[in-house]
Chain A
Amino acid sequence: MSAFRTTEPNTGFVTKKSTNTYHIQTGEYSLACTLSTRLKRESDGDPVAIGDFVRWNEAGQLTEVLPRRNQLARRAAQPMPGSYAHEQVIAANLDQVMPVFAAANPKPAWNLLDRYLVSAESAEIPALVVLTKFDLVDGKPESAEILSIAAEYRAIGYEVIVTSAETGLGLEQLRAALSNRLSIFVGKSGVGKSSLLNALEPGLGLKVQQTSQLTGKGRHTTTHLEMFPLTVGGAIIDTPGIREFGLWDVASDDLALFFPEMRPLVGACKFGLGCSHDQEPGCAIRHAVNAGEISPYRYQSYLKLKDEQL
């Protein structure tokens, strides 16, 4: 967190964001600011993201967002099909992205995980996958499938930590991974992001709820973005559940570069960089999938995302 200290006057970083209010940390002090009219006018969406370094004026209005080291963004949810889509920056200046998935209740959405990973790769932010609620499947047949999928992602090069807020499984490993870094938990509603944070930092007392028994989905308990300092050093950003995660600023031609297992094969196809890795003969990536070197599920995710980006 030393990177978040600033000596410049009237500058600090955004630690909490709720409708129209931004909480800024500057040294030992915290203050609540609003957006200046000029900043509002300059942007389609929200110009300030959590983790941003900002400058404010005497009226307590944010006047400037300092250049970002990186940013995690998605395509903002569209109110209706065909309406204008704009970028929504979820957080900025991150050290790592942590997609959080429940082993059960709600069921893990593996294609959503691939979206998060591609987004993190495109933003050049390291990603670490967290699997929660493992106590719900421990000793059941589903656990073997989940562990084998986790092994697939480890083989690609992503660290996967299996946790349980109930039993304390994996919490020490997670603390070590979070130490002295600014991380963000992202995932669907109800996967246990806030419960995991409560288990990591017992004093936080974040509000949590059971998932709906009727739908098996989360209840959107966390409704704002907030950064929490950790006793092991560093900080973690808790986010509301994200139901849709459309990729932003990822060109369909570049997509294979954001799949680490496909990256070395890009350009090695018969048609070189012109290959779309879908139907072309002599495609090195398809050949690797057939040879068992690339997971067919990851390849499916690639094709699906490519279709969307076209």
Chain B
Amino acid sequence: MNTRFTTRRTYTRSGGMHNTFGDFICLHCHNFVSAEMSLSGVHNRNHCPYCLSSRHLDLFEAGDRLSACKARMKPVALTLKRSTRKYAHPGNGELMLVHVCEDCGQVSINRIAADDDNALLMSLAAGRLEDDLRRLLNEYGIAAVGSDEIQFVKRGLFGLN
């Protein structure tokens, strides 16, 4: 799978970071994806809302577009971002999508966008994670949301308690 960006990256080592997240066509599901913030609710559109696939483009930091790997990043799990609030309720952190590169195994965590396919997100939370994958995520310090924490996912997606 490849994703073709209609807006090219504009990162330069001397000029620093510029806006690098543009509209793109997901070559996995072939849908056009708009980076318009009013649709996605996020500044940085980094995965397809229809199939949740991403692409390994960043190397050192989000948006630098310095990776030459460019392979598909497959959505594998959901996780909860740790809350910085000391007395926060369990499961109060932001729901995040975990991607793993199909070529080099790089793991990245991305914000869920407002127009992401909720059914796919729910299926990721309800699905069972393979042992190898769980071990890989543990190496990165990522605790995947399991089926026993599905209420946190519902609350994150639909606002239900």
Contact = CB atoms under 8 A, between A and B. Distances in A.
Interface of A: 107-111, 149, 279, 285-287, 289-290, 296-297, 299-300, 307
Interface in B86-125: 104
Contacts of B2: 279
Given A285-B68, A296-B66, A296-B67, 13 more contacts: A108-B14, A109-B12, A109-B15, A110-B14, A149-B13, A279-B70, A286-B68, A290-B67, A297-B13, A299-B68, A300-B12, A300-B65, A300-B66
A64 B65 CA distance: 50
Q: Sorted from nearest, which 5 A-B pairs have the closest CB atoms?
A: A289-B68, A296-B66, A286-B68, A109-B14, A110-B13
Contacts, number: 40
Contact of B14 (A107, A285, A296): A107
A290 B56 CA distance: 11
Contacts of B8: 307
Interface of B: 2, 4, 8-9, 11-15, 59, 65-70, 104
A290 B14 contact: no
A109 B14 CA distance: 5
Nearest to B2: A279
A300 B14 contact: no
Contacts of A107: 14
B14 A111 contact: yes
B53 to A, nearest CB: 15
Contacts of A307: 8
Contacts of A279: 2, 4, 70
A280 to B, nearest CB: 10
Contacts of B65: 300
B66 A297 contact: yes
Contact of A296 (B4, B12, B68): B68
12 contacts: A108-B14, A109-B12, A110-B12, A111-B14, A111-B15, A279-B70, A286-B69, A287-B68, A290-B67, A296-B68, A300-B11, A300-B12
A107 B15 CA distance: 9
Contacts of B9: 300
A294 B45 CA distance: 28
A296 B70 contact: no
A260 to B, nearest CB: 18
Contact of A290 (B4, B13, B15, B104): B104
A110 B66 CA distance: 15
Contacts of A111: 12-15
Nearest to B3: A279
A299 B104 CA distance: 18
Nearest to A307: B8
